[in-house]
Chains A and B, each alone.
Chain A
């Protein structure tokens, strides 16, 4: 097996062995969905939510949790810990560049975020009959770009945080902001308009997810902002990344 394949296999194994991140990362959004769905009022269409059920409205916001938990709490903390413990430095003495380890770690986390999102959507559909995205292509693009933008922020934290503890602290602040602007703490229709507008352009761009879910093509500007964020922040973190 090539060194890259081995690295991916190893990182996937380590991810699976870390019960906390496995359970929290993969199932937290789904657990929240199930908990909300148990309340009957949230499963009935209501004038308060513009004639739709709260659960239909809120499911896309929970995707923000899926992407955020993994991209901002798992990824940067693991990378910063690897630096702190000298794992990256140790790899620099071998013929394989530690950039491959970084890539493997990124890939494993992207797959985990994807699995978490798919699990959420499947449970929403099966348990509560939440409709699936009505603009699938737009939704796929919005999801991938939004996820890339969140992960680039996670990588930026990973690039510069000297220790796992610092990474946890900084990433947690970004995570909370993203949750807030993404309408996870308070549904977006309850947020002041200015805050909601900022939320449109805050990774992962929840409005584009909501629009494409309900069948409207996502706004090109919002998608561009997500793509540009991913590129610029991603390039910046690659530039700033410290191996030791």
Chain B
């Protein structure tokens, strides 16, 4: 059996099917992303895994435990970081970790956790006096204080400034390297691309794609674009002869060549042979963003 297995998960709120037959497996030690637009059913899916909601049908197994039947046991090994969950304003960082640590049989060393999350200087600071990024890091620390085998992180970096986001990403990689399997819910493409080993794209309650970030973009199209400003004029035919090139377009001094395979190599070597220098050379590959739009027909709202 897979480390984590979700099969045919269905959850409705009234007549609205928030999750409509979601299935995926997560391997031990990976960072598995769940990506999708707002309201796609991402959070409901992980809430069923965390044991916060009862599913209507389907099955969930985390290391052989069912969140509904084995709730207390599962919660010993699964740490959760929730969207928009706060602590009492006057609770201090070290007290919060001490309190939440007392809930678990196994415990991570709170001092090391505080240090590794960069909260060392904030031990005695009450929650209400922490910055948004620090509150978020404390929330991650609380998800890890029970030394979990699995961590579910929901909208981890929403509301953080760019530097805090990058720091948080480094942190998540460290956590994975320490052997924790991570389910990461996000609606940020760059975050998914940077962190996830594999990811499921969920839209309208269904998994519409499931692959590695590279596999998702390649699956949509392997088309590339090379854009440059030539030092001397040349006829289109020069490049169109190449098997890699599909199309050539010009806009002002700029030339845009579309094609497949080793396009950049092919184009630059032909230009070099004709002593044309390609200035402002850029290669554009399909991003996960483009793949997402191609798969779901929607763009993510940031």
A residues apposed to B, CB below 8 Å: 1-3, 6-7, 10, 13-14, 17-18, 82, 85-87, 89-90, 92-96
How many A-B residue pairs lie within 8 Å, measured between CB atoms? 61
Residues of B within 8 A of A1 (CB): 102
B91 at the interface (CB under 8 A from A): yes
Distance (whole angstroms) from the CB of A18 to the closest CB of chain B: 7
Of the 9-residue stretches B28-36, B93-101, B197-205, B243-251, which lies at the interface with chain A?
B93-101
Contact B84–A93 (Cβ < 8 Å): no
B86 at the interface (CB under 8 A from A): yes
Within the assembled complex, what's the spacing in Å between the Cα atoms of A238 and B76?
26
Residues of B within 8 A of A10 (CB): 91, 95, 99
Contact A89–B98 (Cβ < 8 Å): no
- Contact among A3, A90, A95 with B85 in the assembled complex (CB-CB below 8 Å): A90
Contact A6–B52 (Cβ < 8 Å): no
Within the assembled complex, what's the spacing in Å between the Cα atoms of A90 and B143?
10
Within the assembled complex, what's the spacing in Å between the Cα atoms of A13 and B92?
10
Q: Which single residue of chain B is at the shortest CB-CB distance from A84?
A: B86
Distance (whole angstroms) from the CB of A94 to the closest CB of chain B: 4
* Sampled A-B contacts (16; CB under 8 Å): A7-B99, A10-B99, A17-B90, A18-B90, A82-B88, A86-B82, A87-B87, A90-B82, A90-B85, A90-B142, A93-B50, A93-B52, A93-B75, A93-B82, A94-B146, A95-B76
B214 at the interface (CB under 8 A from A): no
Distance (whole angstroms) from the CB of A98 to the closest CB of chain B: 11
Residues of A within 8 A of B85 (CB): 85-87, 89-90
Within the assembled complex, what's the spacing in Å between the Cα atoms of A96 and B146?
12
Q: A95-B75, A95-B76 are in contact. Are A87 and B99 (CB under 8 A)?
A: no
Distance (whole angstroms) from the CB of A28 to the closest CB of chain B: 21
Contact A89–B82 (Cβ < 8 Å): yes
Contact A3–B102 (Cβ < 8 Å): yes
Instruction: Report whether over half of chain A's contact residues are helix, strand or loop; otherwise say mixed.
Output: helix
- Contact among B51, B86, B99 with A93 in the assembled complex (CB-CB below 8 Å): B51
Q: Which single residue of chain A is at the shortest CB-CB distance from B146?
A: A94
- Contact among B72, B86, B90, B146 with A87 in the assembled complex (CB-CB below 8 Å): B86
Contact B103–A96 (Cβ < 8 Å): yes
- Contact among A13, A18, A94 with B100 in the assembled complex (CB-CB below 8 Å): A94
Within the assembled complex, what's the spacing in Å between the Cα atoms of A90 and B78?
13
Q: Which single residue of chain A is at the shortest CB-CB distance from B152?
A: A93
Q: Mark B159-197, 1 if CB is under 8 A from A, else 0.
A: 000000000000000000000000000000000000000
Q: A10-B91, A85-B85, A89-B82 are in contact. Are A94 and B103 (CB under 8 A)?
A: yes
Residues of B within 8 A of A89 (CB): 52, 82, 85
The 4 closest A-B pairs by CB, nearest first: A86-B85, A93-B80, A85-B86, A6-B102
Residues of A within 8 A of B100 (CB): 94
Distance (whole angstroms) from the CB of B292 to the closest CB of chain A: 29
- Contact among B52, B95, B104 with A95 in the assembled complex (CB-CB below 8 Å): B104
For the complex with contacts A14-B88, A93-B52, 16 further pairs of A-B residues with Cβ separation under 8 Å are A3-B102, A6-B102, A10-B91, A10-B99, A13-B95, A14-B90, A17-B90, A85-B87, A85-B88, A87-B85, A90-B85, A92-B51, A93-B78, A94-B104, A95-B72, A95-B76
Within the assembled complex, what's the spacing in Å between the Cα atoms of A90 and B76?
14
Q: Mark B47-64, 1 if CB is under 8 A from A, else 0.
A: 000111000000000000
Distance (whole angstroms) from the CB of B118 to the closest CB of chain A: 21
Within the assembled complex, what's the spacing in Å between the Cα atoms of A10 and B100?
11
Distance (whole angstroms) from the CB of A137 to the closest CB of chain B: 39
Q: Which single residue of chain B is at the shortest CB-CB distance from A2?
A: B102
